[in-house]
Chain A
Amino acid sequence: MERLIGSVWIELTGEALASLRTQGRRSLLALLGVMIGSASVVALMSFSHIAKTEVMERFQEVGVNTVQIEADFTASQGLDALRLDTTLRDDPQVDAMGNMAIGQGYVRVGNESLSAAIAAVSPDILDMLHLATVQGRNLTRLDGCNGAVVLGAKLAKDARAGTGDTAYIEGYGFQIVGVFPFTEQQALNPVNPDQTAFIGLECSRRVVRKLGITHALVRVGEGRDPSEWAENARNDLMQQGQTVAVRTSKDMIAAMNSQMNLMSAILVAIGSVSLLVGGVGVMNVMLMSVMERRKEIGLRAAIGATPNEIVFIFIVEAVALSVGGGLIGALVGVGLTALGCVFLPISFVFDPMVLVWGTAIAASVGLVFGIHPAVSASRILPVEALRAD
C-alpha cells in the first residue's frame, strides 16, 4: 500500500538509502571498515561472555549457597574437627558439610613417582563437589584410614595406575579403589581434582602432616543468606580461637563478575579502537561524498530542503553504513568466536545481546563520525553549491 501523505523524515531516509546504493564500491569500503571493527568488538564481547558463563557453571556445580572455610595457618594451627562439628554441623541452617586437609606430597605407583596434591577428605565433601568415580568406587565413611585412595584422572593417567594397584603416598601404601573422571577446576574446591590423591580424613595427620583440618565446605539451606551465615560462623570460630577465612560462592561470584566486567570493558575498549578506525573511514567517505555532491546539496537547498533536512540525509547515510557494517561484523564476530571455541577448551555460548550491542555501538560510531560531514554539508551556501563543478 503506497502512501499519499508521508513524513519528511521517512521520505528523506528513503532518499539517503537510495543515494548510498548509487555510491557502490565506496559505500562497500566504508562498510568493510566498520564491519572489521564491529567483528572484533563482538568477538571480544562473546569470548568475555563465554568466560563468564564458564566461571558461573563452575560455581553452579558447587552450589551458590556453599561457603568455604579455610584455616589461617599464619595465626593458628589447623581447624579442630570436633569444634567444627559442634559449632557448624549442628547448626539447623546447615544442609551439608565436609572437612578436608590438603597438602603436597609424592605419589608412587610402580616405578612412577609424581608430585601431587594430597587431600584427606570426609566423604561428604566428595558428594558436595559432585565427584563420582569413573572407575572403581568412591571413598566411604567405612574406609577411614584403612589404606584406600581415589586418584584424579590426570594423576592416574600420568602414574599409569588403575583400580587395584598400590599407590605409595609419602611412603604409606594405599590401594587404589577408584579413579575420578577428568573434571574442570571447581569453584571453592581448594584442589584441582584431576591432579589430586583423595584419602580418608582420618589419615590426614599421618600423610598430610598438617596439624588439623585446612578447609571445610558448608552448604547453607535454601533461603538463607550464605554471606551472613559465613560471617556469623567466622565470629563463632574466632571466639573459640580458630582463626579462619571464609568465602562464599555468592561473594566470589560478585567479585568474579566485577573482575569479568572490568575485563570485558577493557577488551571492548581495545576492540573499539578498530571500530574507531572504521568510523574515521565512514567520516572520510562521507566528507568525500559531501564534496562530490555539492551540486545536489545546492539543488536540494534551492527546492526547499532545510539545513536540518540536509544534515539528516547525510547522517542517515553514515548511520546506515555503520549499522550495515556493524550487523555484518557482529555476525562475523560471532562466527569467529564459534570457530575459536573449536580450537580452545571452551564451549561456545551464543548471546544474542552481543549482536544488539555490536550493532548499536557501530551505529553510534556512525552517528558520531557522520555529524561533522553532515553539518558541513548543511552549511554550504546554496549559491556556492550550485556553482560547483
Chain B
Amino acid sequence: MIQLTDITHGYGPARSRTQVLDRVSLVMPTSQMWALTGASGSGKSTLLNLVGLLDRPHSGEIKLAGQNVSGLSAHEAAKVRNRLIGFVFQSFHLMPRLSAWENVALPLVHRAVGRTARRHAAMEQLERVGLDDRLYHRPEEMSGGQRQRVAIARALVTQPRLILADEPTGNLDSESGAMIMALLSRINREMGVSILMVTHDEALARSCDGQVVMQDGRIIQTVTG
C-alpha cells in the first residue's frame, strides 16, 4: 500500500535547514494496521504528513497503491487525498458550525455529491461508529471520544484505501482511547482499509500488524507480524 524510498525532508531555508527525515525507506503492505512510534521530534508526524501528501519531501519517492505520487501538483495531490486517503487527527479537526453528519459529509462536498446522497453516506458511517443518535449534534455538544468517532466516520465516508491517524487517542482518556483503537482495528479487519497510525503508546503499537520505530529522522527498527 505504502512504498517510501529514500525520503529526505527538513524545515527552514536551505542553508540552515533542520533535517527531520533522513533517507527513510519503508514498505507497508495493503490492508494492514501499522504503528509509527518514537520519541517526540523523531519525525513520525512529518513522515505521516508526507505519506498523506500534506507536504512534499525534499527528495525521495512515495508510492501509494502502486502510484508514484511524489511529483504531483497541488491539484492532483488533493484529488488523490480525496480518493485514496482518510485522515484522523489528534485534535479531531471538526468544523464547529457543522453538525455531526455535515462534518462527516464534508469530503463528499469536494466530490460534487448532492446533499441527499451526502447525508445518506454520512448516516451510514455514523452508524458504523455507533453515533447514529448524534446526527444533528455539533462538536461542542459531544465528548472527546464521540468527536474522534465523528472524525473516523469522516475519514471513512469516501471509502478510502488508507487511513492515516496522527495520535488518534492522544487527547482522550484511557477508556475512550481504547474504544477508538478497537474501532480502528475493526475497520481495518472488516473493511480491509490500511491504517498507518502515529502513537506513543507501546502497548497499542504492539497490537498492530507492524511497528516502525523512529529516532532522529531515521527508521531504526521495523517489526512485523
Contact = CB atoms under 8 A, between A and B. Distances in A.
Interface of A: 2-8, 11-12, 15, 18-19, 22, 295-296, 298-309, 381-383, 386
A302 B51 CA distance: 12
Nearest to B157: A303
B13 interface: no
A382 B54 CA distance: 5
A105 to B, nearest CB: 80
Contacts of B54: 298, 301-302, 381-383, 386
Given A305-B78, A308-B75, A5 B112 contact: yes
B115 interface: yes
Most chain A C-beta atoms within 10 Å of own C-beta, residue among B78, B87, B112, B114: B78
A5 B114 contact: yes
Given A303-B87, A304-B158, A5 B113 contact: yes
A304 B82 contact: yes
Interface range on chain B (Cβ under 8 Å from partner): 20 to 34
Q: Which of B54, B79, B81, B97 has the most CB of A within 10 A?
A: B54
B75 A8 contact: no
A386 B110 CA distance: 18
B128 interface: no
B74 interface: yes
Chain A interface helix/strand/loop/mixed: helix
Nearest to B81: A304
A2 B112 contact: no
A305 B110 CA distance: 6
B208 to A, nearest CB: 23
A19 B109 CA distance: 14
Given A306-B75, A306-B79, A3 B116 contact: yes
B111 interface: yes
Given A302-B81, A306-B78, A381-B55, A7 B110 contact: no
Contacts of B109: 8, 11-12, 15
B78 A5 contact: no
Contact of A386 (B74, B89, B113, B158): B89
Contact of A11 (B83, B87, B112): B112
Contacts of A306: 74-75, 78-79, 110
B95 interface: yes
Contacts of B115: 2-3, 6, 11
Task: Give the interface centre of A5, A305, A307, A382 by most chain B CB atoms within 10 Å.
Answer: A382
B148 to A, nearest CB: 15
B210 interface: no
Nearest to A21: B97
B147 interface: no
B87 A7 contact: no
Contacts of A382: 54-55
Contact of A307 (B74, B95, B112, B114): B74
B111 A383 contact: no
Contact of B106 (A6, A8, A303, A386): A303
A307 B79 CA distance: 11
Most buried by B among A2, A299, A302: A302
